[in-house]
């Protein structure tokens, strides 16, 4: 039996999360560190390798027992190795596998397999193997938070696309009339309406258009959570924002159905914590917009929350090593 440990890494714009998995597949140690964003993210992989070395020392494990590293990154990844831009880390296009292998080798690890993947794809794999996706061979995980991501698994396999862009639904062009730019450089992307910033922007705009009383009028730094909490207590502006975001997301799910036709859509990310307040308008919009073949697709919340990415990064490497 394989006696090697696997390190799973979930790389975010604020924190890097780590999980160390035993040969039996158990997460034996997990921790996080603030992401070293200096110098266009040049030190992030060095930092990850340092963290790995410290963890092995702390756990009393020989460095040669590291068998592989799975790393989820907030951007597109091609073929498990080439990063195709991560805007919020300052990264362009480069061979992450090669660079991380070098950083690990410089710290005394052997040459280990590094499997990189998009963070939403990692979260989808996590839910597929350990969470709300366990019962589905064909599923999509949609994460709605600061941005909107999606990972698509068909017939038990993650689909990443030829250019690493499969599931990038946050940038589906949903409004050709938009004049404001999205962070990606285009205008009218789904994210501009249904991610956290879009929900807040919509609410502020609607508040200025009327004098209807609202709990939200007097909050100094309005957040999407404030808006959805207000919706849960029946506030008209909160309800409007939830309905509008739900409408846009439901249409996007109908588009995914038309291409990939998954059995289930799992909704994760910070916005999903609002529960039925956001889930109900998503379901209603989906049922109205989807082609008749797929109206029975399940829409439900994801289960693993912040751990999905770590579990998915682990399984991405495990599957790769088992099929080698």
Q: Which of 126, 170 has the CB closer to Zn ion?
A: 170
| Pure H helices in 157-275 | 191-194, 196-208, 224-232, 236-260
315: tokens are 């399984």
Asked if 171 touches Zn ion (CB under 5 A), the answer is yes
CB of residue 75 to Zn ion, shortest distance in Å = 13
Give the count of beta carbons closer than 10 Å to the beta carbon of residue 163.
12
118, 75 contact by CB (below 8 A): yes
Asked if 123 touches Zn ion (CB under 5 A), the answer is no
38 — phi, psi (to 5°)? Answer: -60, 155
Site residues for Zn ion, window 178-197 (CB under 5 A)?
182, 184, 186, 189
How many residues bind Zn ion (CB under 5 A)? The answer is 5
CB of residue 9 to Zn ion, shortest distance in Å = 26
- Distance (Å, whole) CA 216 – CA 208: 11
- Distance (Å, whole) CA 253 – CA 153: 14
Q: Is 48 exposed, middle or buried (0-12, 13-18, 19+ CB in 10 A)?
A: buried
Asked if 46 touches Zn ion (CB under 5 A), the answer is no
- Distance (Å, whole) CA 111 – CA 99: 12
Q: Which of 134, 186 has the CB closer to Zn ion?
A: 186
CB of residue 191 to Zn ion, shortest distance in Å = 6
11 — phi, psi (to 5°)? Answer: -95, 115
Q: Which of 53, 171 has the CB closer to Zn ion?
A: 171
The contact pattern for Zn ion, residues 126-165, with x = CB under 5 A and - = no contact, is ----------------------------------------
- Distance (Å, whole) CA 268 – CA 113: 29
Q: Which of 132, 189 has the CB closer to Zn ion?
A: 189
DSSP code of residue 229: H
Q: Which of 49, 76 has the CB closer to Zn ion?
A: 76
Q: Which of 17, 171 has the CB closer to Zn ion?
A: 171
**Interface with Zn ion by CB under 5 A: which residues?**
171, 182, 184, 186, 189
């Amino acid at each position: 039996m394989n006696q090697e440990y696997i390190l799973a890494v979930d790389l975010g714009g604020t924190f890097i999360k780590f999980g160390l998995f035993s040969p039996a597949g158990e997460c034996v140690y997990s921790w996080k560190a603030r992401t070293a964003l200096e110098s266009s993210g040049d030190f992030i992989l060095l930092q990850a390798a340092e963290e790995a070395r410290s963890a092995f020392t702390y756990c009393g494990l020989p460095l040669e027992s590291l068998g592989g590293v799975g790393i989820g990154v907030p951007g597109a990844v091609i073929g498990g190795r080439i990063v195709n831009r991560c805007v919020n880390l300052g990264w362009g296009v480069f061979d992450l596998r090669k660079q991380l292998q070098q950083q690990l080798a410089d710290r005394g690890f052997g040459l280990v397999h590094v499997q990189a993947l998009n963070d939403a794809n990692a979260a989808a794999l996590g839910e597929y193997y350990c969470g709300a996706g366990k019962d589905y061979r064909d599923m999509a995980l949609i994460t709605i938070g600061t941005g909107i991501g999606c990972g698509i698994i068909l017939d038990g396999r993650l689909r990443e696309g030829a250019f690493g862009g499969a599931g990038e639904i946050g940038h589906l062009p949903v409004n050709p009339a938009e004049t404001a730019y999205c962070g990606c450089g285009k205008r009218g992307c789904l994210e501009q309406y249904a991610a956290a910033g879009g929900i807040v922007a919509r609410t502020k705009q609607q508040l200025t258009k009327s004098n209807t009383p609202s709990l939200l009028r007097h909050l100094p730094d309005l957040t999407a959570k404030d808006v959805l909490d207000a919706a849960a207590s029946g506030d008209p502006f909160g309800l409007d924002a939830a309905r509008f975001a739900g409408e846009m997301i439901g249409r996007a799910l109908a588009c995914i159905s038309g291409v990939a036709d998954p059995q289930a859509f799992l909704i994760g990310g910070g916005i999903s914590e609002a529960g039925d307040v956001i889930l109900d308008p998503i379901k209603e919009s989906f049922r109205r917009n989807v082609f008749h073949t797929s109206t029975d697709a399940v829409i439900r919340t994801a289960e693993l929350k912040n751990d999905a990415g770590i579990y998915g990064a682990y399984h991405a490497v495990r599957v790769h090593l088992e099929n080698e």
